[in-house]
Amino acid sequence: MKEVNHMSIYKNLAKKREFRTLIFLAVIFIIVGFINTDFLTIGSIQNTLKSSLLFIVLVVGLTIVLLTGNIDISVGGTLGLSAAVCGLILKNGGSIFVSILAAIFIGAAIGLINGLGVTKLKISSFIMTLGMLEITRVIHVIYTNGQWVENLPAGFKQLSQMNVLGINVLLIIVLAGITAIHLFLTRSRKGRYFSAIGDNIDGAILLGVPVQRYVIYSFIASGVCAALAGLIFASQIGFISTNAGLGIEMTVIAAAVLGGVSLSGGVGTVIGATIGAVIMISINSALIYMKIPAFWNDAISGLLLIMIVVTDAVLSRRADKHIKKERLKARVLKEEVSVNHAHAK
């Protein structure tokens, strides 16, 4: 009896998309580890995780938007703008606390505008956030006069370098945050509203979910996450160029898709998306450890993305067909049984 239980747990796990992604990540690590054992040292793994922190934070926010069936392309612009604002405040002698608050406020404001555009003006989220991406980029350049923000105070740069028991503090905070968000999105009633909206918007309306409000919340969450990522960027890199975060949105969307988040909404978890982000960055550092020139990066991530998504689509369709067949069989067999009963009588 117990074994059966174990079996079903394994089966359930194997069916989960995140689990497959995790295995894929493990395979990358093992293969690269064989070629260059340095890749598997704790230091190197922590470095990979540290450099993926930024992407993890971005992808968590994006996932909440994707769950509602919308998309947020503006994250790269929000990241750059909020990092620049935070950097300039710091340079002009503002306190770290104020600069962080300002960045988060900007992220929330951009998210709010996106959300209002999508819900009230009924602009498709792709177009709305694409326009917003361009607008935030221009505002960033105007605000900084087209110059890089450099020489951030050491105290601020220190924030991303603090360690507790040899583990990066920021990493711990982010992982704890992801766990909390995951529990909120899957266990709490209000958290599940997000995927309910993406799964079936009319159904969600009928159930009394305040759809528009929650879509706006999701965009605000994504904006705030992008601002936090901007802070991490500023603290880790130490300077903000005018094209900070340029093109990052495509990597982040790819990461979410790799992690099993559906672009049509309702399906996916932040944990899966996080694993997806780690994969995207691992590919980069794996190439370095395998001594493959960096110009292969985009080609390999693009190819992987297409392959994984197509395999996944084919697999899930086959599974659907199988389930339908089983159901049909069950129905037909039942009828036969009842027919036999009738004969017996």
Partner 1 sequence: MHMLSKIPKWNLGLILVLILEIIIFGLINPRFWNISILLNSFNDFIGIAIIGFFVTFVMITGGIDISGGSIIGLTSVVIGILSQVAGMNIWVAIILAILAAGLCGLLNGILIAYGRVQAMVVTLGGLLLYSGIAIVLIGISGVSAYEGISGFPESFSMIAYSTVLGIPSSILLFATLFIIAYVLLHLTKYGRYIFLTGINQDAADYAGINTKKVIASTYVLSGLSAGIAGTMLTSYLGSARAEFGSEYLMSILTVVVLGGTLITGGKGGIIGTALASIIVGFLQVGMQMGGISTQYIGLATGLLLIISVALLSISSSAKDNMKKLLGLKI
Binding residues (CB under 8 A) for partner 1: these are 71, 117, 121-124, 126-128, 130-135, 137-139, 141-142, 146, 247, 250, 253-254, 257, 263-264, 293, 295-303, 305-306, 309-310, 313-314, 317
The residue (of 40 and 88) whose beta carbon lies closer to partner 1 is 88
User: How far apart are CB 67 and partner 1 at their closest, in Å?
Assistant: 15
Handedness of CA 152, 153, 155, 158 (dihedral sign): positive
d(CA 183, CA 312): 25
User: How far apart are CB 336 and partner 1 at their closest, in Å?
Assistant: 33
The residue (of 49 and 128) whose beta carbon lies closer to partner 1 is 128
**Residue-wise over 263-299: b if at least 16 C-beta within 10 A, else e?**
bebbbbbbbbbbbbbbbbbbbbbbbebeeeeeeebee
The residue (of 73 and 234) whose beta carbon lies closer to partner 1 is 73
User: How far apart are CB 69 and partner 1 at their closest, in Å?
Assistant: 12
User: How far apart are CB 154 and partner 1 at their closest, in Å?
Assistant: 31
Handedness of CA 75, 79, 85, 89 (dihedral sign): positive
The residue (of 97 and 295) whose beta carbon lies closer to partner 1 is 295
User: How far apart are CB 19 and partner 1 at their closest, in Å?
Assistant: 21
Helix runs in the chain, H state only: 2-15, 17-35, 42-67, 75-91, 96-119, 125-143, 154-158, 169-187, 189-199, 201-206, 211-237, 248-258, 270-289, 297-344
The residue (of 138 and 162) whose beta carbon lies closer to partner 1 is 138
Residue 290 DSSP code: T
d(CA 102, CA 194): 27
**To which residue do tokens 């819900």 refer?**
119
The residue (of 146 and 208) whose beta carbon lies closer to partner 1 is 146
User: How far apart are CB 17 and partner 1 at their closest, in Å?
Assistant: 14
The answer to whether the CB of 270 falls within 8 A of the CB of 61 is: no
